[in-house]
A and B are shown apart, each in its own frame.
Chain A
Amino acid sequence: MEKKKVVINAEGIDRSLTRIAYEILEKNKGIEDLVLIGIRTGGIYLAQRLQIKIEQIEKARVPMGIVDITLYRDDLLTSNRKPRLGKTDIPFSLDGRKIVLVDDVLFTGRTIRAAMDALIDFGRPKLIQLAVLIDRGHRELPIRADFVGKNLPSSLWEDVSVHLTEKNGVDEVVIEPGQE
């Protein structure tokens, strides 16, 4: 059986995030009204890194918040697994802001839909953009990312995982056989 394969290493992740940071600034013409929102849990660390990179480029810090999408999941009542509820922490108004929603892997799109529902309960942002490190395809909803680190076409029977030093002690993106 095929084993775990590292498809992006630490340097690759860093380069992708640097490029995404520049793309965010270019698309939004700077940082005015810009906020970063990381989706718990993988998106938090990536949003923090983008916040640092943007600060290095612009010499100013954009606000960053955290959204937990558990309460907005559409499979909560049908799934046998109850996800552990985490905290949402958005200590600023989202009214009129340009939100860059950050996640590690874009897959079916359901997580992003849930995150957008949650954000809209907090206020009326001017726009929401999506930044992901990996887009692995298999969308079930009409959602696409504005900023993508790497497109990684994958089989439904594969698992794509983003490991980050803050959580896993190493920076790498791995693909491995999943459960059929």
Chain B
Amino acid sequence: MILQKKDILGIKDLPVEEIAIILDTAESFVEVSSREIKKVPTLRGKTIINLFYEASTRTRTSFEIAGKRLSADTINISASTSSVVKGETLIDTAKNLEAMNPDVIVIRHSASGAPHMLARMVRQSVINAGDGSNEHPTQALLDLMTIRAKKGTITGLKVAIVGDIAHSRVARSNIYGLQKMGAQVTVAGPATMMPRDIEGMGVEVRTSLEEAVSGVDVIMMLRIQLERQQQNFFPSLREYAQHYCLSRRHLDLAGPDVLVMHPGPINRGVEIAPEIADGPSSVILEQVTNGVAVRMALLYLLTGGKQ
């Protein structure tokens, strides 16, 4: 079985079987990244464009490394150094890129739905690398991969997602993915950071971090988006940290062998106490390693055959 869709735009519309194929394939790619020669000739002659309209270090680098390890040509375009600053629209940029005949376009955009529009406009495969507050499917896939590798399964696990749920594309994609794979999800954060329709997503909602993490197998902390601070979703970072910074006492409330995850970049002492971020429960750097493998798997599955 192969992926049925041309594009990877979100976890919401990805069937469970296809998620499993992506995770299985990604596990095989971990081995390639551990070799001395971390390169295979699989996608020689293919071109991948990373079109990043928002700042990103790890996702863009991860996609670039993934493409290069498969021997594809990868080209990075940042909005700040492209024709976007001259006023070009996304559609015009897309049409011009399409005319250069790449094989995959990876896009990050601050507007929710931008990758969906791009996917309708071009014949190439489009991968959503994060769109506004909608979805971040590759992050959710690497999180699922990390959990499955550590716990052996995702089915039946209890997972707490903590932080700015309303604005987090990571949270949305993970809620969809974890539920599809059979996990039970609790979300926690200040009431101002909870989306109105959150109960409709089938998750339990808590405002207390202590309650949210009690007995869970996985704690997924979200980044506080300092750039949104001026919108006053909470009074101060210090007050947020007092209520929602993950510390030793929270881990004692959680289940044995709890995993601590974070999509990065971490605001140390705001979301996670430094000793927890660097402690034995943390799998934050394994998430980064698995991110390359997941993106290699997606590039392989989307481009590895005649369309």
CA distance A129 to B301 in the complex (A): 32
Give the nearest-CB partner of B300 in chain A. Answer: A85
Interface size grouping (class) on chain B = 20 to 34
Mask, B48-92, CB within 8 Å of A = 1, is 000000000000000000000010000000000000000000000
Indicate whether A89 reaches chain B with its CB closer than 8 angstroms.
Answer: yes
In contact, B301 and A82 (Cβ under 8 angstroms): yes
Indicate whether A117 reaches chain B with its CB closer than 8 angstroms.
Answer: yes
Residues of A within 8 A of B29 (CB): 85
In contact, A121 and B40 (Cβ under 8 angstroms): yes
Give the nearest-CB partner of A83 in chain B. Answer: B304
Give the nearest-CB partner of A89 in chain B. Answer: B31
In contact, B35 and A122 (Cβ under 8 angstroms): yes
Give the nearest-CB partner of A68 in chain B. Answer: B28
Number of A-B contacts (CB under 8 A): 57
Residues of B within 8 A of A123 (CB): 36
CA distance A22 to B301 in the complex (A): 42
In contact, A86 and B41 (Cβ under 8 angstroms): no
CA distance A117 to B42 in the complex (A): 12
In contact, B45 and A77 (Cβ under 8 angstroms): yes
Indicate whether B228 reaches chain A with its CB closer than 8 angstroms.
Answer: no
In contact, B45 and A87 (Cβ under 8 angstroms): no
Indicate whether B305 reaches chain A with its CB closer than 8 angstroms.
Answer: yes
- Residue from A77, A78, A85, A86 whose CB has the most chain B CB atoms within 10 Å: A85
Interface majority SS on B: helix, strand, loop or mixed?
A: loop
In contact, B300 and A72 (Cβ under 8 angstroms): no
Indicate whether B114 reaches chain A with its CB closer than 8 angstroms.
Answer: no
In contact, A87 and B31 (Cβ under 8 angstroms): yes
Indicate whether B100 reaches chain A with its CB closer than 8 angstroms.
Answer: no
Interface residues in B270-302 (C-beta closer than 8 Å to A): 297, 300-301
Indicate whether B120 reaches chain A with its CB closer than 8 angstroms.
Answer: no
Given A71-B40, A117-B41 in contact, is the A82-B2 Cβ separation under 8 Å?
yes
In contact, A71 and B41 (Cβ under 8 angstroms): yes
Mask, A84-98, CB within 8 Å of B = 1, is 111111000000000
Please list the residues of chain B having a beta carbon within 8 angstroms of any beta carbon in chain A. Answer: 2, 24-25, 27-29, 31-32, 35-37, 39-43, 45-46, 70, 297, 300-301, 303-306
Please list the residues of chain A having a beta carbon within 8 angstroms of any beta carbon in chain B. Answer: 68, 71-72, 76-82, 84-89, 117-118, 121-123
| New contact pairs (14) apart from A71-B300, A77-B305, CB-CB < 8 Å | A71-B32, A71-B40, A77-B304, A78-B305, A80-B305, A84-B25, A85-B25, A85-B28, A87-B28, A88-B31, A117-B41, A121-B37, A122-B35, A122-B36
